[in-house]
């Protein structure tokens, strides 16, 4: 990491924003980082489906106050903001890690892989080079790029909040499509999360190809098949 990046890290570490969710971005601009992306993921906890990440570079003149933690928004509001982002000059990327990749490398590494893919798509699609990345959580993305991880970053950075909206809406759409293929699990209702009804469906019908076979609540129903239990599933925080 170069001295410029280290100095910015020290400066950001002393920053304690109070309701201003563009303060990290604004202060990075002041320190010479003009293309700042936010990255977040959706789908760490489900028993089925992929983990999906979003990466967003917001326009400097955007109304950043629109973008909130996706978990605190209604589905309708998330969809509206999803369209607003794609209709704007924001640079956007989406990255996906499949259920099989989650089983192979664990949920932490798969989440970081999805983030890496989202960043790459964001830069490739927009034809830009990121100067800095704000990351939700406590881990950095495995890329040669100056970064700042922020626990509960969706409430601290509008860029991360926007990325959370992209990730959540994209994943929900995917799960609705998977519902058409595997209707007995009712993915459109719970998006693969471990609800009582979802757990009962797994017990009744067994896991589908979309289920994460290393996760508790799935591996018990594999009927002697390789459940990949040697994989240690590690949460992001």
pLDDT band at 19 (very low <50, low <70, confident <90, very high): confident
pLDDT digits (tens, 9 = 90+) for 207-218: 999 999 999 999
pTM of structure = 0.90
d(CA 168, CA 71): 9
pLDDT of residue 224: 58
Does the pLDDT value for residue 9 go beyond 90? no
Does the pLDDT value for residue 37 go beyond 70? yes
CA-to-CA separations, 172 to 44, 78, 138, 215, in angstroms, rounded:
13, 11, 25, 20
Q: Residue 200: is it exposed, middle or buried by C-beta count within 10 angstroms (0-12/13-18/19+)? A: exposed
pLDDT of residue 16: 60
pLDDT of residue 8: 46
Task: Return the bridge partners of 96, or none.
Answer: 52
DSSP 19: S
d(CA 153, CA 80): 21
Q: By the 8 A CB rule, do 170 and 52 touch?
A: yes
Q: If you average pLDDT over every residue of the chain, what do you get?
A: 90
What the chain holds in terms of domains, given with CATH numbers, is 3-178 (3.30.420.10), 181-221 (no CATH)
* Mean pLDDT value across residues 113-127: 97
DSSP 149: E
Nearest to 41 by CA among 170, 156, 155, 133: 170
pLDDT of residue 30: 93
Does the pLDDT value for residue 1 go beyond 50? no
């Amino acid at each position: 990491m170069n001295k410029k990046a280290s100095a910015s890290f020290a400066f950001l570490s002393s920053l304690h924003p109070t309701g201003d969710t563009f303060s990290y971005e604004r202060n990075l601009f002041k320190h010479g980082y003009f293309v700042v992306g936010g990255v977040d993921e959706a789908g760490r906890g489900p028993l089925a489906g992929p983990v999906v990440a979003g990466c967003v570079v917001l326009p400097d003149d955007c109304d950043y106050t629109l973008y909130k933690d996706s978990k605190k928004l209604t589905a309708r509001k998330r969809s509206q903001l999803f369209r607003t982002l794609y209709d704007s000059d924001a640079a956007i990327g989406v990255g996906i890690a499949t259920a099989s990749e989650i089983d192979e490398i664990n949920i932490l590494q798969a989440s970081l892989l999805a983030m890496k893919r989202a960043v790459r798509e964001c830069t490739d699609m927009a034809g830009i080079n990121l100067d800095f990345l704000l990351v939700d959580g406590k881990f950095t993305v495995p890329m040669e790029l100056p970064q700042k991880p922020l626990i509960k970053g969706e409430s601290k950075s509008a860029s991360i909040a926007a990325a959370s909206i992209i990730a959540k809406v994209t994943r929900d759409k995917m799960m609705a499509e998977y519902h058409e293929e595997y209707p007995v699990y009712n993915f459109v209702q719970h998006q693969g999360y471990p609800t009582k009804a979802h757990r009962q469906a797994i017990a009744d019908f067994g896991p589908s190809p979309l289920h994460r076979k290393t996760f508790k609540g799935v591996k018990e129903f594999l009927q002697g098949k390789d459940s990949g239990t040697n994989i240690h599933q590690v949460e992001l925080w």
